[in-house]
Chains A and B, each alone.
Chain A
Amino acid sequence: MPLVIFVDDSETALASTRMVTNSMPIEVKQYTEATVALAEIKAGMKPDLIITDLNMPVMNGLEFLKELRAVSSTSRTPTLMLTTETKVELKEQGKALGLTGWIVKPFNPAQLKQAITRVLRLPA
């Protein structure tokens, strides 16, 4: 099964995404700190899709994305930003770093499922 990792400093946000993805044919790993997810990626974890929050302490979503692009195994891994942030300049920064898409919270469960299905090319 494809591996999807979620990174969000909010436990409640992770719970919301878990409730939506638990019926999908994917393996899900969740992290409250981008640094921990990054360390596991550097240690060999190969996610098929990364979904990350933007505003997080220690390492924010864009810093995380920049680090991901510097690791050969995730230099081209599809990555979605799932955030309450709506600032256009930040979207542009993400786009320049090869971000796949931007999802504004609160997300629609059906559309989050569709987005994951589309990016991973899962059977609809």
Chain B
Amino acid sequence: MLILKSVDDLLEHIRDVQESVIELSTDSLMKMSNFIEKNHLEIDEEISTSLQYQDIITQQLNASIEAINSMRKSIDIFLHAQKSDENLANDSLKKLQVKFTATLKEAKEKRSRFSGKSAQNSSDSDEIEFF
């Protein structure tokens, strides 16, 4: 099961990179917005939208970090089960695959849900919905 350990290490690395990207992009945007506010600059629609994309990027990355953490937990459970009883390994492998599939499905659903207006192809008129 060395291959699974390698997959786990790779997932951990991807998660760490994503967390760094979130931190850097937040820092970058806060510096820009501080500059805009400090100098009382008026922002137009395009700049406002660009600034807001950072929030969407963060949510997308956080959703995939959640999926990575879930997959790593499943790998950990499998590796422990496999250590304690090799006969259970095949059964555990099937369960692992089911969990991976479910996690991936949820992650893809979140990608669509957290894309905001950019994913909806909507016009400006349906941007705000009053009930």
Contacts and interface: CB of A to CB of B under 8 A. Distances in A.
Nearest to B120: A86
B46 to A, nearest CB: 10
B48 A91 contact: no
A13 B127 contact: no
B86 interface: no
A109 interface: yes
A86 B115 contact: yes
Interface string B104-119: 0000000011111111
A95 B130 CA distance: 9
Given A12-B51, A19-B43, A105 B56 contact: yes
A18 to B, nearest CB: 7
B86 to A, nearest CB: 40
A12 B55 contact: yes
A106 B114 CA distance: 11
A49 to B, nearest CB: 13
Contacts of B97: none
A87 B117 CA distance: 12
A102 B122 CA distance: 14
A84 B45 contact: no
Interface of A: 10-13, 15-16, 18-20, 22-23, 55, 83-87, 91, 94-95, 99-112, 115
23 contacts: A11-B26, A12-B30, A12-B54, A16-B33, A16-B48, A16-B52, A16-B55, A19-B48, A86-B115, A86-B116, A86-B119, A87-B113, A99-B131, A101-B130, A103-B129, A104-B120, A105-B52, A105-B55, A107-B127, A108-B48, A108-B127, A110-B45, A115-B130
